[in-house]
Amino acid sequence: MTALKIAKDRTLDIKNMEILSKVHAKNLVKWAKDKPEALVLSADLTSSTEIDLFRDAYPDRFISFGVAEQNMMSFAGGLAREGFIPFVHTFAVFIYRRAYDQIAMCIAYPNLPVRMFGFLPGVTTPGGATHQAIEDTSIMRSLPNMTILECGDATDVESVLDAANAINGPVYIRMLRGEIPRLFDKSEPMILGKARILSRGNDITILSSGICTEEAMRAVEALKKHGVSITHLHISTLKPFNDTAVLEALSANKYGVITMENHSIIGGLGTVAAEEMAEAGIPNKLLRIGIKDTYLHGAGREYLMREYGFDAMALIREIEKIVDTSFDITEDDLRRVRFEPINSDAKAEAL
Partner 1 sequence: METIMEVEEIGTKIDELRETARRIRVSIVKMLTNAGSGHTGGSLSAADILTALYFAKMRHDPKNPKWPERDRFILSKGHAAPLLYAVLAECGYFEKSELMTLRKLGSRLQGHPDSKALPCIEISTGSLGQGLSIANGIAIAGRLDSASFRVNVHLGDGEVQEGQVWEAAMSAAHYKLDNLCAILDRNRLQIDGKVEDVMSIEPIADKWRAFGWNVIETDGHDITKLLSAMNEAEKVKGRPTMIIAHTIKGKGVSIFEGKVEYHGIAPTKDELEIALKELEGQRNG
Q: Among 42, 51, 77, 89, which residue interacts with partner 1 (rule: CB under 8 A)?
A: 77
101 belongs to the binding site for partner 1 (CB under 8 A): yes
Q: How many H-runs (helices) and E-runs (strands) does the chain carry?
A: 13, 14
Dihedral of the alpha carbons of 126, 131, 136, 139, in degrees to the nearest 10: 150
Report how far apart, in Å, the C-alpha atoms of 162 and of each of 7, 28, 148, 191, 260 are.
19, 11, 14, 9, 26
Q: Among 66, 128, 227, 240, which residue interacts with partner 1 (rule: CB under 8 A)?
A: 66
Q: Among 81, 186, 254, 321, which residue interacts with partner 1 (rule: CB under 8 A)?
A: 81
Stretch that binds partner 1, among 10-18, 73-81, 244-252, 257-265 (CB under 8 A): 73-81
Question: Minimum distance between the CB of residue 77 and partner 1, rounded to whole angstroms?
Answer: 6
Between 68 and 280, CB nearer to partner 1 = 68
Question: Minimum distance between the CB of residue 41 and partner 1, rounded to whole angstroms?
Answer: 9
78 belongs to the binding site for partner 1 (CB under 8 A): yes
237 belongs to the binding site for partner 1 (CB under 8 A): no
144 belongs to the binding site for partner 1 (CB under 8 A): no
Strands of 171-175's sheet, edge to edge? 62-64, 38-42, 85-91, 115-119, 171-175, 147-150, 237-239
Cα(229)–Cα(242) distance, integer angstroms: 25
DSSP sequence for 279-309? HHT----EEEEEE-S----S--HHHHHHHTT
63 belongs to the binding site for partner 1 (CB under 8 A): yes
The letter for the amino acid at 104 is A
Site string for partner 1, 32-51 (x = CB under 8 A): -------x------------
Q: What is the DSSP letter of 103?
A: I
Residues engaged in binding partner 1 (CB under 8 A): 39, 60, 63, 65-66, 68, 70-84, 101-102, 104-106, 109-111
